[in-house]
A and B are shown apart, each in its own frame.
Chain A
């Protein structure tokens, strides 16, 4: 068990202009499950491989516990990794795959057997111990890869998209199993995925990366409630947050026929940046359908913006309305969550206003969060 620290760790691949991972700074607590998430190519695997010792660190440092491991070879770091493609030794049985590290470490045969059998029991692999990997299903191989990591009882687990080769149903199942197993073992874990749902459901904390730069590290709740910038706002949450650019007025922003109040500090900050507009983020569940009673800027017209329904996704309990609205003269796609019993028809027009206190305000020019 140990903490893990990325201290301005940087990786530049030879010949690349930009660093693949740029001054990454994360402190991971002992026993924590940290998920690194971001779009493909953002440097997640590189970060993980730097921690594993499989990739050079060009600048900065990486520490496991108090130990500076920046330049240690992988075998001296006491970490186990689950690879995206599992990387099982094809010429060894499941038991030998799982026991390989212990054998190298010189653990005696009886002890290896006990530990392998124990791990196999946890992972439901007991009857496959004598098989070679090629005689296993994808899900079983994935579990062997997990088993190989847990029998070692390492300081840190690293997992690089371990579920991406499984089918959707198995993925959801395994997701819960891995998270549960990690809580039970209490081993510090860094988990990489491009799937924000996986990140939000599994992690104690989530770190969002983009183009090698860390965007935000936070608990899933905070990540959802207070995204630090436009990128995180758009990346976390499904369907994604609605992001629209709106003009600033006195005491708030103009949102169609309504004025939505925004804190004075946010508006001042935007004005100081020289902006006349801000980008407002509203989650689909934070739109209210406007009735005629709501205050409207225009006479004879309902408040908020008029959304013409294009598609409705009914999920039973609720539904998502995918529509288009004219905002500031440009057609904008808007997603609204509606109750499952009152689903509008295609072509209908909905008038929606953001719920007060539930909007996120970002600077249009820098993308940074302005509201608190």
Chain B
């Protein structure tokens, strides 16, 4: 545990040496340049979304530096006025939030069960789950389409949510089970002796300790579902299509809708970022420091 508190004391491994050098000037400048380089497309998109359609189609976005008067919020006004886009944005939220929450809740409970509860066939079931990890999404498209048709949820939000949840779960359970299995056994035993039943133990000890893993999983699942187009194209209809699909349909009339496209693309990018920063505080490592020893 002390190793987690003070990784620097482990002696100068290559990573530690690099980290120490990060303080020095040359490395810092290098890192800064890389970061700036990485950000160029994003900045470009942001600036484009703030220029008029005519400007976008005639000159490059860097022109704003010489002519800042181009900047306008007009595109965003258009975007908000475009009911297809606002409806799709709402759909994106209505799909992504439940598909993330369901995966986290079910995944965490199942992960706890696989890690700490004893029931017959547990290990076989877990192996089966790992096998599911390698099933490509494409092989399920046709059978699930038929299944949804029978249940009458083809084209609905529910269908899309269920599909994302089902395909997110194997990895979620796998990740969380392995994370929960690392919790010191005595911590759970202490909880049981303190009078906690399994549910309370799960909610009050396991989940708080699983914070970092759950936060990472939430971000990945959110990003995956938010950016998905394949599943949405197949299982959603025009009423339930999310932002990705709606934006793609705008490109068919390229030129006419370039204003909506740039601002819409930026919006669809910025929302996962906001989620990331919201969960970022959870990424504190060494959260179990001080539990044992």
Contacts and interface: CB of A to CB of B under 8 A. Distances in A.
Interface of A: 52-54, 73-75, 77, 79-81, 83-91, 100-101, 104-105, 132-136, 138, 141, 148, 152, 165
B41 to A, nearest CB: 39
B197 A75 contact: yes
Interface in B159-196: 184, 186-187, 189-196
B290 A54 contact: no
A134 B290 contact: yes
Identify the 3 closest CB pairs spanning chains A and B, nearest first: A134-B290, A133-B290, A85-B292
Contact of B290 (A52, A74, A75, A132): A132
Interface string B64-84: 000000000000000000000
Given A77-B193, A104-B194, 8 more contacts: A73-B192, A81-B189, A84-B186, A91-B211, A101-B194, A104-B200, A134-B286, A141-B290
Given A91-B209, A134-B5, A80 B290 contact: no
A52 B191 CA distance: 12
Contact of A74 (B192, B204, B292): B192
B193 A79 contact: yes
Given A91-B209, A104-B200, A134-B5, A86 B193 contact: no
Nearest to B207: A91
A74 B293 contact: no
Contacts of B288: 90
A85 B209 CA distance: 17
Given A88-B291, A133-B291, A75 B195 contact: yes
Interface string B129-148: 00000000000000000000
Interface in B6-37: none
B189 A83 contact: yes
Chain A interface, DSSP helix/strand/loop, else mixed: loop
Interface in B183-235: 184, 186-187, 189-197, 200, 204-205, 208-209, 211
Contacts of B5: 134
B193 A134 contact: no
A141 B293 CA distance: 8
Contacts of A90: 209, 287-291
A91 B292 CA distance: 12
Given A89-B205, A90-B291, A101 B184 contact: no
Contacts, number: 90
Contact of A83 (B190, B195, B289): B190
A295 B189 CA distance: 64
A108 B27 CA distance: 56
Contacts of A100: 191, 194, 196, 204
Interface residues of B, number: 27
Contacts of B189: 52, 54, 74, 81, 83, 87
A52 B193 contact: yes
B287 A81 contact: no
A79 B293 CA distance: 22
22 contacts: A54-B193, A73-B192, A74-B193, A80-B193, A81-B189, A83-B186, A84-B186, A85-B293, A88-B190, A88-B290, A89-B187, A89-B190, A89-B191, A89-B205, A91-B209, A101-B194, A104-B194, A133-B290, A134-B290, A135-B290, A148-B190, A165-B293
A91 B5 CA distance: 15
A272 to B, nearest CB: 49
A81 B190 contact: yes
Max count, chain A CB within 10 A of own CB: residue among B187, B290, B291: B290
Nearest to B208: A91
A152 B194 CA distance: 9
Nearest to A99: B194
A132 B291 CA distance: 9
B183 to A, nearest CB: 10
Contacts of B184: 85, 87
Nearest to A105: B195
> B197, B209, B292: which has the most chain A beta carbons within 10 Å?
B292
B278 to A, nearest CB: 19
Contacts of B191: 89, 100
B168 to A, nearest CB: 26
Select the residue from A77, A80, A88 with max chain B CB neighbours within 10 A: A88
A87 B190 contact: yes
Nearest to A79: B193
A101 B184 CA distance: 19
A341 B189 CA distance: 54
A38 B209 CA distance: 35
A133 B205 CA distance: 14
